[in-house]
Amino acid sequence: MELAEPSGTNSDSAGGDSFTDESSVASSIEHLVAGSQGVITKRIDLALLEGRELLSRSIERAALVGAGMVLATAAWFAGAGAFVLLVAPDASPVIRLAAFGLLNGAGAVGLVTLAMRHSRPPTRVRPNGNGPTRQREPLPAEGKN
């Protein structure tokens, strides 16, 4: 394919080749545009497929975690009930229910405390108003994360 020449020069004295060159360039550009559209369409399809796979895996994991939580809750209640019956076999139902409630409440408080400790950002302490910011050292009971 030849490049376009300045308007003052003619490569063909009859001028018959000029139209074919222009149509060849136009068809090349059309072919390039069609190919680019095909590539873009394939990339969009691939992104949609990856999104569907990610959503499917996320839903599957959430269902598995939910089922695991239901089973863990059932196991906790069965274990707590067995523990209450083991500790107080001759107690009245009111005392057993109170012990069961206290055991479950203590477990809930422990889990909430654990969750609060892990979700809290580190506390920043400044020795004075102009000094650099330093991070507080964790207490021995807090452990190092």
Q: What are 74-117's pLDDT values in tens digits?
A: 999 999 999 999 998 899 999 999 999 999 999 999 989 988 88
Average pLDDT of span 46-59: 95
pTM here?
A: 0.48
Task: Determine the pLDDT at residue 45.
Answer: 93
The gap from C-alpha 1 to its chain's centroid, in whole angstroms, comes to: 51
List residues bridging with 118 in a β-sheet. Answer: none
Confidence (pLDDT) at 8: 47
Residues 6+ apart with CB under 8 A from 12: 18
